[in-house]
Structure 1
Amino acid sequence: MAFQTIDRVAVEEEGEGPAVVCVHGLGGSANTFTPLMPALARHRVIRVDLPGSGRSQRAEGALSIERYVDTLLRVCERLGVERAHWIGHSMGTIVCQHIAADHPKRTASLALFGPLIAPPDAARAAMRARAAKAREGAAGMQEIVQGLLQTAISADTRQRLPLAVAFVRESLMRQDGEAYARSCEALAGAPAAAVERIEAPVLLVSGDEDGVAPPQAVRAMADRLHQAASKRVVVLPRCGHWTPIERPEECQRELRDFLAETARR
């Protein structure tokens, strides 16, 4: 595995083959996709810690979906990647949608876990309130983490999979409060991509207990993908919003089959 910093953004690169770029969500990092790596064994996998997250928390200035898109395109340019499969989780799925809609030649496919087009108004207000809470310091972040452990992962995961709970807890607790607050504000201001223009094959994976990207909203999203070469919706049982962490084997299988089918095209 190779590691480098590109414009103060942490980038990991591993493997050979068709390029895959992984884009994490709010409170995540490159590690969000570690459970999916077995499905990407024959690919060149590029994992980025977005500005304000993970090892890229020291990025200065306001954060936005537009900045995330520009960052990822710049990383691809520096690494000589002209076309890639894009894998996103949560907020990262919004970033991937913008890239696919606005840069179709750069997009071989989209695999989106916990996907949403844009937060509804109530969620935007909640994100701004969470940003204020994060700025209260360690106690504020602790309160945020405890709340998300009850709402972002499924009851079954909490009962049976303590390692998955620990992963989500650690991912969130590792976030710097101010940087996390700016990331919340980026999501609160996220514009919707023109998903009707997306031409690449699309895989949408949600959990039946996902309150951020509920199955009905994911199916409605699929209905808007009029130009997609193909589309598939998968709803995993007894699963919340952190799909790759809560149900890694199922997510590996769906991703592996999706990429194989895309390659056959």
Structure 2
Amino acid sequence: MASPGHVRSCPSTACRSSKEDYTDIARHAAFDGHPVVAYDAPGCGDTVCGDPTAVSIPFLVDTAVSVLDRLGIGRFHLVGHSMGGLTALMLAASHPDRVLSFVDIEGNVAPEDCFLSRQIVSHPAADGETFLEGFIERNRRSPTYAAPLFASSPPHKVRADAIRGIFESMVELSDHGDLMATFLGLPFPRMFMYGDQNASLSYLPRLAAAGVELAEIPQCGHFPMYSNPPAMWARIADFQGKVQAPWW
């Protein structure tokens, strides 16, 4: 396990979840004695953002670096879900010397991962409020685990004006950013976690062949922290516990 100076950093996922989605970590003894940082992205949760329309994935990466530096965090285990997973991937790629391990919970690594964010293109709306209303309703009717539960949260966790910039940058990076090569090129242990309802993702064999540990969480879709948090945290703890972190 990491020394007390090594932190588990959990970038929150804007428009998907918030820092509160990580609070169950406190219920798992495997993480006792190890500090955890979880935060809301700008434009989401409890944040105050002067211009939500300026928020994008690169903006969120800069925010993550600022959070880590402000708290004096040198090296850390990195966990990110969905959009937070993409933010974490870009953070890990730009600061590989600071990352001990990376758990990517269905973060974007290929164009097919834009099943939520691509709705900004496939379901255009005149304004953020109109798009958000439709986005919520589509998730409420989804047959996947926890999607209706998730649908209840965006009105309280995201500013409508922040959605377009975030989603458009997600789609742009997923389609043209060569995220798979970036993920496979990371020089530290990586886990890719996904719900069993998404076991058909086409790239999973490629990840496994490249040495990425796969963690399929049963009775889950895109939101293991809602559908099966005990299994999610147990897999993360086991993975991080195997990482031999340097003590400095």
TM bucket (normalised to shorter chain) is: 0.7 to 0.9
Q: How far apart, in 2, do the equivalents of 1:134 and 1:20 lie?
A: 39
Which residue is 2:152 aligned to? 170
Q: Answer yes or no: is 1:24 the counterpart of 2:15.
A: no
Q: How far apart, in 2, do the equivalents of 1:247 and 1:121 lie?
A: 21
- Residue 98 (structure 1) shift: 1.8
Which residue is 2:64 aligned to? 72
Q: How far apart, in 1, do the equivalents of 2:204 and 2:12 lie?
A: 18
C-alpha distance after superposition, 1:58-96 (max 9, x if no partner) = 242522221111111111111111111110001111122
Which residue is 1:195 aligned to? 183
How many matched pairs?
232
- Structure 1 pair 125–259 and aligned structure 2 pair: CA distance change class (3 A): closer
Q: How far apart, in 2, do the equivalents of 1:50 and 1:143 lie?
A: 22
Q: How far apart, in 1, do the equivalents of 2:22 and 2:33 lie?
A: 15
Indicate the SS of the match to 1:250.
helix
- Structure 1 pair 122–172 and aligned structure 2 pair: CA distance change class (3 A): closer
Residue pairs, 1:1-265, within 5 angstroms: 18-27=6-15, 28-39=17-28, 40-56=31-47, 58-60=49-51, 61-120=53-112, 123=115, 125-130=118-123, 132-133=124-125, 135=127, 137=129, 140-151=131-142, 153-154=144-145, 157=146, 165-166=148-149, 168-174=150-156, 175-190=158-173, 191-193=177-179, 194-210=182-198, 214-223=200-209, 225=210, 231-263=212-244
- Residue 147 (structure 1) shift: 1.0
Q: How far apart, in 1, do the equivalents of 2:178 and 2:47 lie?
A: 25
Q: Is the Cα–Cα contact under 8 Å of residues 207 and 239 in structure 1 kept in the other structure?
A: yes
C-alpha distance after superposition, 1:209-232 (max 9, x if no partner) = 13xx85433443444x4xxxx631
Q: How far apart, in 1, do the equivalents of 2:206 and 2:125 lie?
A: 32
In angstroms, what is the RMSD of aligned CA positions? 2.8
What is the identity percentage for the equivalent residue pairs of Structure 1 and Structure 2?
22
Q: Is the Cα–Cα contact under 8 Å of residues 127 and 187 in structure 1 kept in the other structure?
A: no
Q: How far apart, in 2, do the equivalents of 1:241 and 1:134 lie?
A: 27
Indicate the SS of the match to 2:49.
coil
- Structure 1 pair 78–134 and aligned structure 2 pair: CA distance change class (3 A): farther
- Structure 1 pair 264–206 and aligned structure 2 pair: CA distance change class (3 A): same
Q: Is the Cα–Cα contact under 8 Å of residues 100 and 245 in structure 2 kept in the other structure?
A: no
Please tell me the residue identity of whatever aligns with 1:185: E
TM score, norm. by length of structure 1: 0.75
Q: How far apart, in 1, do the equivalents of 2:85 and 2:113 lie?
A: 18
If each structure's strand is expressed as a fraction of its own residues, which one has the higher value?
1
Please tell me the residue identity of whatever aligns with 2:120: M
- Residue 106 (structure 1) shift: 0.9
Please tell me the residue identity of whatever aligns with 2:151: R
Please tell me the residue identity of whatever aligns with 1:32: D
C-alpha distance after superposition, 1:245-265 (max 9, x if no partner) = 111010011011111111478
- Structure 1 pair 126–239 and aligned structure 2 pair: CA distance change class (3 A): same
Q: How far apart, in 2, do the equivalents of 1:257 and 1:121 lie?
A: 26
Q: How far apart, in 1, do the equivalents of 2:165 and 2:143 lie?
A: 20
Gaps of 5+ in 1: 1-15, 159-164
- Structure 1 pair 264–177 and aligned structure 2 pair: CA distance change class (3 A): closer
Indicate the SS of the match to 1:112.
strand
- Structure 1 pair 196–205 and aligned structure 2 pair: CA distance change class (3 A): closer
Q: How far apart, in 2, do the equivalents of 1:134 and 1:17 lie?
A: 47
Indicate the SS of the match to 1:249.
helix
Q: Is the Cα–Cα contact under 8 Å of residues 134 and 180 in structure 1 kept in the other structure?
A: no
- Residue 121 (structure 1) shift: 9.3
TM score, norm. by length of structure 2: 0.80
C-alpha distance after superposition, 1:156-193 (max 9, x if no partner) = x57xxxxxx54x23322212221233322232222344
Q: How far apart, in 2, do the equivalents of 1:245 and 1:152 lie?
A: 15
